[in-house]
Structure 1
């Protein structure tokens, strides 16, 4: 399931990815980005990935990358993920959108992740 998160800035797209994820769930994100992007020069995205089922992390990141590649206004991305998956994610950063500053955080550092994406 994918759900949009409330963020403290209108140019930051907040997304929670959890449990069973279907490719069509990414349409929610694409549609929201389409609505927001016309109002800002640059966008940022904050993503929490937790307990995914039905997708490998690599497949999930490729789908997220495809979704984001539709939009050329992104300047920063934060991924908040379980500690045990941080290492895997670090090795797959090359799959993410080129030219976007990407940082990975654990759920314990969620506050720091939100501060980084907002500044």
Structure 2
């Protein structure tokens, strides 16, 4: 399931991902980004990822990479995820667009991640 989160800045897209995610879910986010990006020079994205299996993580990251490469106006991305996945996804950091500043946070550091993405 994927849902949009309310953030404290209109230029920040907040997304919560739990369990299984399908193409329709990502289409919802992509369409929302298209609507928001016309109002701001740069966007930021905050993503909380919970309760996913390893094979789903790879699919999820490929979809996020597609989103970021097609929305070049992102300047920052905060990814909040279980500690056990942080090291593995940091290895794949190269799949993200180099112009996007990406930081990873453990689930218990959601407040820290929100402060970072808003600063």
Bin the TM-score by the shorter chain: over 0.9
Q: CA deviation at 1:69?
A: 1.8
1:28 aligns to 2:28 (yes or no): yes
Q: In structure 2, what is the equivalent of residue 97 of structure 1? A: 97
Q: In structure 2, what is the equivalent of residue 114 of structure 1? A: 114
Query: Separation in 2 of the partners of 1:96 and 1:72?
Result: 11
TM-score (ref. length: structure 2):
0.94
Residue by residue over 1:30-53, the C-alpha shift from the partner in whole angstroms, topping out at 9 and shown as x without a partner, is 000011000001000000111125
**After TM superposition, what 4+ stretches of structure 1 lie above 6 angstroms from structure 2?**
none
Query: Separation in 1 of the partners of 2:93 and 2:54?
Result: 21
Q: Any conservation in 1 of the 2:69–2:97 contact (CA below 8 Å)? A: yes
1:60 aligns to 2:60 (yes or no): yes
Q: What runs of 5+ residues in structure 2 fail to find an aligned partner? A: none
Query: Separation in 2 of the partners of 1:76 and 1:54?
Result: 24
Query: Separation in 1 of the partners of 2:104 and 2:35?
Result: 26
Aligned residues: 119
When structure 1 is superposed on structure 2, of 45-54 and 91-100 the one drifting more is: 45-54
Q: CA deviation at 1:56?
A: 2.7
- Give the alignment's Cα RMSD to 1 decimal: 1.4
SS of 2:41 mapped into structure 1: coil
Query: Separation in 2 of the partners of 1:26 and 1:54?
Result: 18
